Structure 1
Amino acid sequence: MHEVLWVTGLVGGVLCLAGHLPSPVPQWLPHAVALACMAAMTPGAGDRGLWVAGAVALGGATLWELRAGCVFRRAAEAVNLAAMALLTAVTAVVGQSHHGGAGVAGLVSADFTPAELAPGPVLLSVACWSVARAGVVLVRQAWPPRITALPPGRRARLLGEAGGALMVTAMAVMLGLP
């Protein structure tokens, strides 16, 4: 199951990147970082240092997106990147057993298993991400950007939205599975 989720997250990363490729490098670079971090979460590769580096890189990509991203999509994409950074950091700290780490049981107590914690982090992270994305949409409706640039096309928006949803959801579910 983890392999399917990982591939789903990779497909989401490719979709996000594909929606930005006609753009200049500063606009698609954060999505290339996200794709690289998703690739580093290979099932069975239990290197926490790599996950910590990925979380830091995603945090930097979030800040970069806020600064140099597409004006029309930077807030929504920054929320996606921030959620991914948080999920990657939690994965590094928790070290789930399906990634080759000791699991929550090794960090808390011998009789506590990751299966007891599984639905909580998934539901919380997906709910927080959904609320943040809804907030972005509401703020955009209340205060539309006053920019003379052309907004991204339907294809780019569709690829970005679908890719972000696939990556964040796949990462959250991978975190919650025992």
Structure 2
Amino acid sequence: MAPAVGSREWWRPFGAGPMHDVLWVTGLVGGVLCLAGHPAASVRQWMPHAVALAAMLAMAPGAGSRRGLLVGAGALGLAWLWQMRAGCRCRGPAEAVDLAAMAVLTAVAAGAAGLESGHHGDHAAAVADGPAGVASAALTPWTALFLVACWVVARAGAVLVRLAWPSGSPEHRPERRALLLGETGGVLMVTTMAAMIGLP
């Protein structure tokens, strides 16, 4: 029997369902596009994107355990540090913003998974618990929207800085196809992660 709209199961992070399957596959496509944006790059440039793709693989619908999500968040945090130190000078800031957003979203998903495992019952039980129960039931969707808004602002800032102060010589800048693949892949991964934890 399908859960009611007011049920906590209706928005459970990474729960099984057709919508989550589609979102997960979309995120995997985004990860593949990020890797395709670095076809001839060295390991130090495509390794962070491989970590992001692995973290997305771990978010398979119905398999997002709290421990696995925490490990994924930690791995994405290390990938962010790697990207800040050894990433592409031209695309590094924007890609670092994407990795940071994915790390935070994965950590939020882990927290929501822990909240779900520690608090059983439907929306009526949350209402019976008072305002705190209702607030916990609505925490993840609003948190996801807030994080996406912060990511959009930071991403726009990184792009503006790149346009205002281009780094690297012209011959070392990525070609348009690689730039488009990387940008599209990053956007897909971040938005699908946010949708998986914040939307039904």
Give the TM bin, normalised by the shorter chain.
0.7 to 0.9
Are positions 1:157 and 2:164 aligned together? no
User: Quick check: 1:16–1:31 contact (8 Å CA) kept in 2?
Assistant: yes
CA offsets 1:25-54 (integer angstroms, 9 cap, x no match) = 110000000000000001101421111111
Partner of 1:26: 44
Partner of 1:102: 117
Letter in 2 for 1:163: G
Q: Distance in 2 between matches of 1:6 and 1:56?
A: 20
Q: For 2:108, what is the secondary structure of its paired residue?
A: helix
1:80-119 matches, within 5 Å, as: 80-95=98-113, 101-102=116-117, 110-111=125-126, 112=133, 116-117=138-139, 119=141
1:1-178 matches, within 5 Å, as: 1-95=19-113, 101-102=116-117, 110-111=125-126, 112=133, 116-117=138-139, 119-147=141-169, 149-178=171-200
CA shift for structure 1 position 119: 3.9
Pair member with larger Rg: 2
- Taking only aligned residues, the RMSD between alpha carbons, in angstroms, comes to 2.3
Question: Percent sequence identity over matched residues?
Answer: 62
- Normalising by structure 2, report the TM-score: 0.79
- Normalising by structure 1, report the TM-score: 0.88
Gap change, CA 1:94 and 1:156, over 3 Å in 2: same
Runs of 4+ in 1 over 4 A off after TM superposition: 103-106
5+ residue gaps, structure 1? none
Q: Distance in 2 between matches of 1:138 and 1:125?
A: 20
Partner of 2:13: none
CA offsets 1:69-122 (integer angstroms, 9 cap, x no match) = 11100000000000000000110111189xxx528767xx94146763454123
Partner of 2:4: none
